[in-house]
Amino acid sequence: MSLADVIELRRATDPAWLKLAIERFDEVLIDHAHCEKKAAANALSILQAYPTVPGLPAQMARLAREEAAHLARVLQIMEKRGLVLGVDRGDPYAQGLQKLMRNPNAERQLDRFLVAGIIESRSHERLALLASGLEDPALQKFYDELAKSEDGHQKLFLRLAREIADDAVVEARLGQLLDGEAELIARLPIRAAVH
């Protein structure tokens, strides 16, 4: 069996999302800052929860640093546009994925890695769409760079999942979670937000 090294999403983003995201880009930017904040926090939370997985602490420390750097850059762009961060109103997409996670310890660990990877994969898709749709060359370049970075992160989480579970278990669970994510994407209303 040849194993994929990327998480392939099962439902593409509706083109209406990009149209809305470009029209209401300031709102997307603010949500994007919250996403990067949550990605950095999640990396440290995973480090805290699973320090014995080989290589994980250093990888999560680097990931947290990268996500925090993304956050700082988004905040800088927001500042230039006179935008303030405000309170995080929550993200129905992340909450929906949260509900798919199982609770027993071993299952929860695998699900956390796979769900984190799926979010990175979806973020990669959406940020690449922003790069293709925004007119400002500086913003295009910024989103292109971030999309590539998130693509690296989804691969990292998939590798971590393979560290802790058999290939067949990873494939089966990843398939279930990807189906759940596709269903969620189809069901949730389109928002002026990253997800």
User: What is the C-alpha separation between 136 and 71, in angstroms, rounded?
Assistant: 20
Min dist. Cβ of residue 39 to Fe ion (A): 5
Min dist. Cβ of residue 166 to Fe ion (A): 26
Complex with Fe ion: residue 111 or 150, whichever CB lies closer: 150
Min dist. Cβ of residue 33 to Fe ion (A): 10
Q: Where does this chain bind Fe ion (CB under 5 A)?
A: 36, 39, 67, 70, 120, 150, 153
Contacts of 136 (CB under 8 A, 6+ apart): none
Q: What is the number of other CB atoms lying within 10 angstroms of the CB of residue 109?
A: 19
Complex with Fe ion: residue 58 or 106, whichever CB lies closer: 58
Min dist. Cβ of residue 69 to Fe ion (A): 8
Complex with Fe ion: residue 72 or 172, whichever CB lies closer: 72
Token pair for 54: 């080989």
Tell me which residue of 12, 34, 41, 37 sits closest to 125, measured CA to CA. 12
Complex with Fe ion: residue 98 or 167, whichever CB lies closer: 98
Asked whether 165 and 50 are in contact (CB, 8 A), the reply is no
